[in-house]
């Protein structure tokens, strides 16, 4: 029986400096180890990687086939120099995974090839800074080549093709193709676990927010636990209403304006204020009011929701920052909708009476804001806002034979959905590594025309590296890469190789998200360029945190 | 040219008006046509010479009517009244009602799929509730407004290649929307916002290479045409059509001949919309029109339906 070991390493770092040629050699070893762990997952026939569980090494290991997932599990290398190379690669792979949901294995393979080529050249006397400069120039040329190949994608069948290239799950891809054909790049999609064994989808009309009625006493339809108003007036306030006297001016004005149904969306309502509203419900003829809590978990979310609701309903919101309260209410603070509904946990608006032009401008502004935003944490809420304002949402229910299968498929569906958004927004490229192979055509003349050896080397390194993803895909599927590349070259342009069926086919049948491929290439070149310029490593003593765990 | 027509259906109320016409696909043979009016739905079996009021629903105001493209076999037609769409499977003798969620929608347009016999698909545009679709021959309707920012839909049109491309267009108060998935989701087209509203639409296979031609009638800028499904637009015949173009129809026998109902009256183009001539100036407010080969049905508010013979 083997002895139990603590899961953190016992290694102890010594302070010191490391110089060439050890730096390049050891960084390359770190990069190569991580790339080698991820390379088998590239393509439609991925092999898997088993990872020991961090919390309990005795548990069944996690079996992963996603580059991003594997990289996240690699926390450190035992050799400190290699660790630096591996962590550079890890940062690249994780960023790709988080931003795009796909392309992390491609990025890893490209990084490995570029760095390897670069180290060979530098060992022969090349200049690292100049090589990096020319690599970035070659990158621009390759990206131009990819831009030329990029085509928009639409229609559920084409989108399903893109999804299948990402998730390698035909039934899931078919549903995602249909969903993204409807919701587009920004639409709201919830992926949820289901108790059934199958996949299914559901579309919900109208906009809804995750915030509900302030009191269950306001529920009219007890069976469905919701209240529906036709042609309601809608008042939006972002502050707490504690004094019941403050609601009187709102009710009086509503009655003057012949409002029959009123939806109040407010930051929070005190018990007395709720009682005041309930009293109005009982006493005023042909008038009913319900109140929901303003949506949003933090001030930024709440402000965004108020902005969106104002545009949708056409009502001017009452704002705390303006020093307003409900006594300041005027006619323009009343928005409207064709229908509004509310339950204890959600409320929704259908056919808001806001100006459609303003709504369209608002959505365009949010889309521009989304494009400008690099931080994925901030992009998420913007995308959710746009999704809501599109007027509907989709839910994908993930069923399966076991809990673990459902969990894994749900994770795959979520990652694929992220990648699909990018594909719908930015178009598609020939898949299976073909776009990179084709883009090499743009590098060839520049390589031949370069007089500077560093420049020629940069083009040559990138030219060779761009064939590496295709090679890895063929290898992983059990084919001899040289032979397949030869068959493609013989068949001419516009042909690719279907590794699943072992046949040549039209490039248009294999599709990858363009943004995914471009980002993978861009970040791989930038990371490799940076790593190639590292000349000295400085190690400190064992970091405090490692010592504590050790 | 048209000779002077005469009113074959006289409406008595000042507010009564024909809103839409529809005719049997075999009109030349059976002479069957329908007029949706504020006072109800009328049917003529003799090419519009005589009209009978049909027993549709207690709510008489009928704002749209559509005939099944497979009418010869299924005898189906659809009429939109306030709050619902009625369907008949015996050319209008008896009717069934399909309900809609409250508040009751007001319908502006009804279109049936060219492949209706197989897919049973219908789209209905409303003035405040966007677009509804039915996939079971008008039995049940569901709202499909994903991406539609403007629920004030004034007109609808299906691509002539609908069976392959599932493309539909919705003209609204603030622009033109396009759906490429059978009306399930809408995207704003490149129609210039300053030219909205889009009052009427015609989509036909003529005049563009490899694509259908889309025409949009506007309120004050005449007619606009697109050959790329609404991405780019050019103004057609700005001298001839400068005001409102309220209705557009493609001649049932000649895809190059178009008819329009404008602020000047009934106009015709024999070259796919490039040039137009006035066929008939209208005394009164013309509200609807339908060219049917050698006759044009013209609706005028407060007066009725005029039958214009075309020479």
Q: Is residue A134 part of a domain?
A: yes
ipTM of this complex = 0.89
Residue B3: pLDDT band (50, 70, 90) is low
Which whole number is the average pLDDT over A384-410? 91
The reply to whether A274 and A348 lie within a common domain is yes
Query: How deeply is B74 buried, as exposed, middle or buried, from its count of CB atoms within 10 A (0-12, 13-18, 19+)?
Result: middle
Helices A514-532 and A434-449 sit at what angle, rounded to 10 degrees?
Answer: 50
A220 CB within 8 Å of a chain B CB: no
Contacts of A213 (CB under 8 A, 6+ apart): A219, A227, A290, A291, A292, A342, A343, A344, A347
**B146 to A230: CB separation less than 8 angstroms, yes or no:** no
The reply to whether A220 and A252 lie within a common domain is yes
Is A376 a residue whose pLDDT tops 90? no
φ/ψ (deg, to 5) at A368: -65, -40
Of A187, A205, A359, the CB nearest to B149: A359
Least confident of A13-22, A409-418, B65-74: A13-22
Compute CA A502 distance to the chain's CA centroid, rounded to the nearest angstrom.
32
Q: Using DSSP, state whether A462 is helix, strand or coil.
A: helix
A367 CB within 8 Å of a chain B CB: no
Is A507 a residue whose pLDDT tops 70? no
The reply to whether A38 and A59 lie within a common domain is yes
Which whole number is the average pLDDT over A140-167? 92
**A181 to B181: CB separation less than 8 angstroms, yes or no:** yes
Distance between B173 CA and the closest CA of chain A, angstroms: 9
A391 CB within 8 Å of a chain B CB: yes
* Bridge partner residues of B107 (DSSP): B126
The reply to whether A20 and A125 lie within a common domain is yes
| DSSP for residue A34 | H
Q: Give the pLDDT confidence score for residue A9 in this predicted structure.
A: 42
**A182 to B172: CB separation less than 8 angstroms, yes or no:** no
Distance between B212 CA and the closest CA of chain A, angstroms: 18
Chain A residue with minimum CA distance to B167? A155
pLDDT digits (tens, 9 = 90+) for A259-312: 999 999 999 899 999 999 999 988 888 899 999 999 998 899 999 999 999 999
**B181 to A155: CB separation less than 8 angstroms, yes or no:** yes
Q: Is residue A160 part of a domain?
A: no
Cis peptide before B251 (omega within 30 of 0): no
pLDDT digits (tens, 9 = 90+) for A247-268: 999 999 999 999 999 999 999 8
Distance CA A537, CA A147 (A): 38
Least confident of A44-58, A291-305, A534-548, B47-61: A534-548
Give the CA dihedral A11, A16, A17, A18, nearest 10 degrees.
-30
Distance CA A350, CA A62 (A): 45
Helix (H) or strand (E) holding A360: helix A356-372
Q: Which of A428, A495, A429, A441 is nearest to A467 (CA)?
A: A441
Q: Is residue A491 part of a domain?
A: yes
Distance CA B216, CA A523 (A): 47
What's the domain count of chain A? 3
**A356 to B180: CB separation less than 8 angstroms, yes or no:** no
Q: Using DSSP, state whether A288 is helix, strand or coil.
A: strand
Q: Give the pLDDT confidence score for residue B121 in this predicted structure.
A: 96
The CATH number covering residue A438 comes to: 1.10.560.10
Chain A residue with minimum CA distance to B142? A205
For B:110-129, CB contacts with A below 8 A are 128-129
Contact B98, B139 (CB under 8 A): yes
The reply to whether A185 and A291 lie within a common domain is no
Is A79 a residue whose pLDDT tops 50? yes
Distance between A250 CA and the closest CA of chain B, angstroms: 24
Strands A200-205 and A392-398: antiparallel
The reply to whether A124 and A139 lie within a common domain is yes
Tell me the pLDDT of chain B averaged across its residues.
Answer: 92
**B146 to A363: CB separation less than 8 angstroms, yes or no:** no
**Considering A298, A323, A354, which residue would you say is the last residue of a domain?**
A354
| DSSP for residue A39 | G
What percentage of residues in chain B have a pLDDT greater than 70? 98
Q: Which of A220, A238, A239, A222 is nearest to A230 (CA)?
A: A220
What percentage of residues in chain A have a pLDDT greater than 70? 95
φ/ψ (deg, to 5) at A455: -65, -45
Is A336 a residue whose pLDDT tops 80? yes
B187 CB within 8 Å of a chain A CB: yes
* Bridge partner residues of B109 (DSSP): B125
Is A20 a residue whose pLDDT tops 60? yes
Residue B291: pLDDT band (50, 70, 90) is very high
Chain A residue with minimum CA distance to B196? A357
Both structure tokens of A59: 């548990």
Q: Is residue A287 part of a domain?
A: yes
Which whole number is the average pLDDT over A343-367? 95
Distance CA A182, CA A184 (A): 6
The DSSP result for A89-119, as a single string, is HHHHHHHHHHHHSS-HHHHHHHHHHHHHHHH
Strands (E), A206-281: 207-209, 227-230, 233-236, 240-241, 261-266, 268-269
Which whole number is the average pLDDT over A97-126? 93
Q: Give the pLDDT confidence score for residue B243 in this predicted structure.
A: 82
Tell me the pLDDT of chain A averaged across its residues.
Answer: 89
Chain A residue with minimum CA distance to B192? A357
Count of CB atoms within 10 A of residue A32's CB? Answer: 19
Query: How deeply is B209 buried, as exposed, middle or buried, from its count of CB atoms within 10 A (0-12, 13-18, 19+)?
Result: exposed
* Bridge partner residues of B250 (DSSP): B258
Contact A467, A146 (CB under 8 A): no
Which whole number is the average pLDDT over A88-93? 94
Contacts of A346 (CB under 8 A, 6+ apart): A208, A209, A210, A211, A212
**B129 to A338: CB separation less than 8 angstroms, yes or no:** yes
Distance between A437 CA and the closest CA of chain B, angstroms: 32
- ∠ CA(A325), CA(A327), CA(A331), 5° rounding? 105
Least confident of A16-20, A349-353, A446-450, B140-144: A16-20
The reply to whether A325 and A447 lie within a common domain is no
Q: Give the pLDDT confidence score for residue B11 in this predicted structure.
A: 87
The reply to whether A327 and A413 lie within a common domain is no
Q: Which of B128, B194, B145 is nearest to A389 (CA)?
A: B145
B180 interaction partners in chain A (CB closer than 8 Å): 154-155, 181
Number of H helices, E strands in chain A: 19, 20
A203 CB within 8 Å of a chain B CB: yes
Both structure tokens of B198: 């889009």
The CATH number covering residue A233 comes to: 3.50.7.10
**B146 to A390: CB separation less than 8 angstroms, yes or no:** yes
Q: Give the pLDDT confidence score for residue B242 in this predicted structure.
A: 78
Q: Is residue A256 part of a domain?
A: yes
Contact B154, B107 (CB under 8 A): no
Q: Which of B90, B86, B81 is nearest to B40 (CA)?
A: B81
Contact B209, B272 (CB under 8 A): no
**A363 to B185: CB separation less than 8 angstroms, yes or no:** no
B251 CB within 8 Å of a chain A CB: no
| DSSP for residue A333 | G
Helices A356-372 and A376-389 sit at what angle, rounded to 10 degrees?
Answer: 160
Query: Which residue did the predictor score with more confidence, A376 or B86?
Result: B86
**B184 to A154: CB separation less than 8 angstroms, yes or no:** no
The reply to whether A438 and A382 lie within a common domain is no
Q: Give the pLDDT confidence score for residue B266 in this predicted structure.
A: 93
Residue A508: pLDDT band (50, 70, 90) is low
Distance CA B114, CA B178 (A): 18
Which whole number is the average pLDDT over A38-64? 83
Chain B residue with minimum CA distance to A359? B149
**A356 to B152: CB separation less than 8 angstroms, yes or no:** yes
Helices A376-389 and A299-313 sit at what angle, rounded to 10 degrees?
Answer: 20
Task: Count CB pairs under 8 A between chains A and B.
Answer: 67
Which whole number is the average pLDDT over A92-103? 88
Q: Is residue A2 part of a domain?
A: no
Contact B227, B272 (CB under 8 A): no
The reply to whether A441 and A509 lie within a common domain is yes
**Considering A354, A381, A406, which residue would you say is the last residue of a domain?**
A354
Q: Is residue A412 part of a domain?
A: yes
Q: Give the pLDDT confidence score for residue A11 in this predicted structure.
A: 52
pTM: 0.83
Which whole number is the average pLDDT over A222-235? 96
Distance CA A420, CA A497 (A): 23
Residue B205: pLDDT band (50, 70, 90) is confident
Contact B168, B219 (CB under 8 A): no
Q: Give the pLDDT confidence score for residue A1 in this predicted structure.
A: 40
**A230 to B102: CB separation less than 8 angstroms, yes or no:** yes
The reply to whether A31 and A145 lie within a common domain is yes
Contacts of A248 (CB under 8 A, 6+ apart): A276
B14 CB within 8 Å of a chain A CB: no
What percentage of residues in chain B have a pLDDT greater than 90? 74
Chain A residue with minimum CA distance to B131? A351
| DSSP for residue A246 | G
**Considering A393, A411, A427, which residue would you say is the last residue of a domain?**
A427
Contact B54, B92 (CB under 8 A): yes
Is A546 a residue whose pLDDT tops 70? no
Query: How deeply is A164 buried, as exposed, middle or buried, from its count of CB atoms within 10 A (0-12, 13-18, 19+)?
Result: buried
Is A549 a residue whose pLDDT tops 50? no
Q: Give the pLDDT confidence score for residue A550 in this predicted structure.
A: 38
Q: Give the pLDDT confidence score for residue B1 in this predicted structure.
A: 57
Q: Which of A371, A395, A396, A394 is nearest to A383 (CA)?
A: A371
Q: Give the pLDDT confidence score for residue B42 in this predicted structure.
A: 96
The CATH number covering residue A391 comes to: 3.30.260.10
**B180 to A182: CB separation less than 8 angstroms, yes or no:** no
Residue A544: pLDDT band (50, 70, 90) is low
**A360 to B149: CB separation less than 8 angstroms, yes or no:** yes
Is A3 a residue whose pLDDT tops 60? no
For B:146-175, CB contacts with A below 8 A are 146-152, 172-175
Q: Is residue A4 part of a domain?
A: no
Helix (H) or strand (E) holding A121: helix A104-123
The reply to whether A220 and A203 lie within a common domain is no
Contact A138, A458 (CB under 8 A): yes
Strands (E), A316-450: 334-342, 347-352, 392-398, 428-430
Q: Which domain holds residue A376?
A: 165-207+363-427
Is A8 a residue whose pLDDT tops 70? no
């Amino acid at each position: 029986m083997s002895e139990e070991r603590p899961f953190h390493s016992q290694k102890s770092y010594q302070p010191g400096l490391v110089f060439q040629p050890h730096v390049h050699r050891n960084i390359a070893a770190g990069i190569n180890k991580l790339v080698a762990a991820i390379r088998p997952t590239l393509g439609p026939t991925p092999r898997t990687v088993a990872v020991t569980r961090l919390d309990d090494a005795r548990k069944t290991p996690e079996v992963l086939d996603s580059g991003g997932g594997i990289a996240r599990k690699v926390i450190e290398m035992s050799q400190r120099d290699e660790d630096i190379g591996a962590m550079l690669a890890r940062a690249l792979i994780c960023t790709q995974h988080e931003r795009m949901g796909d392309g992390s294995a491609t990025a890893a393979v490209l990084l490995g090839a570029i760095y390897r080529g670069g180290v060979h050249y530098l060992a022969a006397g090349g200049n690292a800074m100049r090589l990096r400069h020319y690599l970035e120039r070659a990158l621009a040329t390759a990206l131009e080549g990819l831009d030329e190949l990029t085509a928009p994608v639409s229609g559920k069948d084409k989108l399903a093709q893109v999804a299948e290239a990402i998730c390698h799950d035909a039934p899931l891809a078919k549903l995602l193709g249909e969903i993204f054909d409807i919701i587009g790049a920004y639409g709201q999609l919830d992926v949820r676990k289901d108790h059934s064994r199958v996949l299914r989808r559901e579309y919900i009309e109208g906009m809804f927010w995750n915030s509900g009625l302030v009191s269950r006493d306001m529920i009219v339809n007890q069976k469905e636990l919701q209240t529906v108003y036709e042609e309601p007036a809608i008042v939006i306030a972002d502050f707490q209403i504690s004094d019941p006297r403050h609601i009187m001016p709102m009710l009086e004005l509503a009655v003057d304006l012949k409002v029959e149904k009123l939806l109040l969306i407010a930051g929070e309502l005190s018990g007395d204020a709720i009682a005041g509203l309930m009293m109005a419900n009982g006493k005023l003829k042909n008038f009913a009011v319900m109140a929901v809590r303003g949506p949003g978990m933090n001030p930024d979310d709440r402000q965004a929701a108020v902005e969106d609701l104002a545009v949708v309903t056409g009502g001017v919101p009452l704002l705390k920052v303006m020093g307003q309260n409900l006594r300041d209410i005027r006619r323009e603070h009343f928005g409207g909708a064709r229908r509004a509904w509310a339950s204890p946990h959600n409320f929704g608006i259908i056919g808001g009476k806001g100006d459609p032009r303003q709504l369209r401008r608002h959505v365009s502004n949010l889309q521009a804001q989304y494009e400008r935003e690099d931080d994925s944490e901030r992009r998420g809420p913007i995308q959710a806002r746009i999704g809501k304002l599109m007027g509907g949402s989709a839910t994908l229910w993930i069923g399966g034979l076991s809990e673990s299968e459902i969990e894994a498929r749900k994770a795959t569906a979520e990652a694929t959905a992220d990648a699909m958004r990018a594909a719908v927004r930015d178009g598609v490229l020939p898949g299976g590594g073909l776009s990179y192979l084709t883009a090499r055509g743009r590098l060839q003349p520049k390589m031949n025309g370069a007089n500077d050896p560093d420049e020629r080397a940069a083009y040559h390194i990138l030219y060779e590296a761009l064939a590496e993803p295709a090679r890895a895909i063929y290898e992983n599927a059990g084919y001899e890469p040289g032979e397949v590349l030869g068959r493609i070259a013989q068949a001419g342009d516009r042909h690719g190789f279907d590794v699943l069926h072992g046949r040549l086919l039209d490039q248009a049948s294999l599709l990858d998200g363009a943004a995914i491929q471009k980002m993978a290439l861009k970040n791989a070149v930038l990371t490799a360029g940076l790593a190639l310029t590292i000349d000295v490593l400085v190690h400190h003593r064992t970091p405090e945190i490692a010592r504590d765990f050790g | 040219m048209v000779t002077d027509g005469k009113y074959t259906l006289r409406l008595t109320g000042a507010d009564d008006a024909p809103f839409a016409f529809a005719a049997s696909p075999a009109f030349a043979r059976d002479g069957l046509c329908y007029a949706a009016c504020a006072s109800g739905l009328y049917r003529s079996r003799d090419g519009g010479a005589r009209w009978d009021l049909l027993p549709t629903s207690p709510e008489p105001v009928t704002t749209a009517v559509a005939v099944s493209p497979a009418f010869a076999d299924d005898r189906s037609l659809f009429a939109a009244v306030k709050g619902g769409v009625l369907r008949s499977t015996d050319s209008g003798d008896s009717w069934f009602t399909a309900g809609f969620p409250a508040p009751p929608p007001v319908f502006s347009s009804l279109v049936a799929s060219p492949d209706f016999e197989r897919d049973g698909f219908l789209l209905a545009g409303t003035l405040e509730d966007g677009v509804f679709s039915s996939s079971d021959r008008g039995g049940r309707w569901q709202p499909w407004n994903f991406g539609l920012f403007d629920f004030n839909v004034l007109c609808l049109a299906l691509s002539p290649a609908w069976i392959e491309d599932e493309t539909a267009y919705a003209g609204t108060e603030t622009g033109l929307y396009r759906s490429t998935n059978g009306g399930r989701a809408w995207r704003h087209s490149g129609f210039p916002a300053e030219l909205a509203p889009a009052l009427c639409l015609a989509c036909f296979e003529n005049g563009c290479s490899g694509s259908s031609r889309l025409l949009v009638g506007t309120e004050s800028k005449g007619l606009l045409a697109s050959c790329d499904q609404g991405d780019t637009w050019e103004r057609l015949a700005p001298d001839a059509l400068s005001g409102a173009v309220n209705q557009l129809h493609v001649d049932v026998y000649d895809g190059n001949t178009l008819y329009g109902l404008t602020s000047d009256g009934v106009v015709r183009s024999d070259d796919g919309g490039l040039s137009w001539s006035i066929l008939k100036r209208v005394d009164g407010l013309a509200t609807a029109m339908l060219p049917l080969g050698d006759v044009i049905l013209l609706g005028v508010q407060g007066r009725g339906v005029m039958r214009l013979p075309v020479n």
